[in-house]
Amino acid sequence: MQNLVITWRELLVAVTLVLAVYIAEMLLLMRSNRKHGAKKGWSFSGGREQRRETELLWEKLDQLWGEVKELRAMVEQLKSDQSPASSYSRAITMAREGRGASEIASACAIPRGEAELITTLHRTNSHDS
C-alpha cells in the first residue's frame, strides 16, 4: 500500500489556493454590499466609521495579496529546487529495473560512484529477497 506524502510545494499550492478563494470571496462580498446598499437606499450612520472599516479591509486585502505573492514565489522556488531524496528514490527505482550505473547517474544527476553503489545494493537486495 502506498503512503500519502504531502510535500512543502503541494502544501504551499494548497495554501495559495485557499487564500485566493478567500480574497475572491471577500471582494464579491464587498461588491455585493455596495450594490445592495446603493439600490435599497440604506443610510449608514457613522460614515467615518464605515470609511475607516473600509480602509482597514483594503489594507488587509493588500496584505493578503502580498502574502499570496510571497507564497507563489516560494512555490516557484520549490519547483526549481530538485529534492535530493527524490533523485535517490528515482535512482533506486531505476536500479531495481536493471538499468546501468552510468544511465542512472546521468538521469538522476548524481555522481557515478553513488549510482554504482545504489545499483550494487539494490540489485543485491532484489536477489536476496
Question: Contact at 8 Å (CB) between 98 and 80?
Answer: no
Tell me, yes or no, whether 45 lies in a domain.
Answer: no
Residue 2: inside a domain: no
Structure confidence at residue 82 (pLDDT): 58
Global pTM reads: 0.35
Residue 103: predicted pLDDT: 93
**Is 76 in the same domain as 88?**
no
Task: Indicate whether 31 and 89 sit together in one domain.
Answer: no
CA distances from 73 to 7, 16, 68, 97 (A): 16, 11, 9, 37
Is residue 21 domain-shared with residue 66, that is, in the same domain? yes
The string of pLDDT tens digits covering residues 1-39 is 567 777 888 889 889 999 999 999 998 888 887 766 655
For 39, the 3-state DSSP assignment is: helix
| 68: in domain | yes
Residue with cell 487564500: 19
> Are both 58 and 28 inside the same structural domain?
yes
The three-point CA angle 48-52-54 to 5° equals 115
Provide the domain limits for residue 76.
8-37+50-80
Tell me the per-residue pLDDT of 107-129, one tens digit each, with 9 for 90 and over: 888 899 999 999 999 876 555 44
* 14 shares its domain with 74: yes
- How far apart, in whole angstroms, are the C-alpha atoms of residue 48 and residue 22? 26
Q: What percent of the chain has pLDDT over 70?
A: 78
Residue-level pLDDT at 57: 92
Per-residue model confidence as pLDDT tens digits over 81-116: 656 667 888 889 899 999 999 999 998 888 999 999
d(CA 9, CA 17): 12
Q: Convert 97-121 into a string of H (helix), E (strand) and C (coil).
A: CCCCHHHHHHHHCCCHHHHHHHHHH
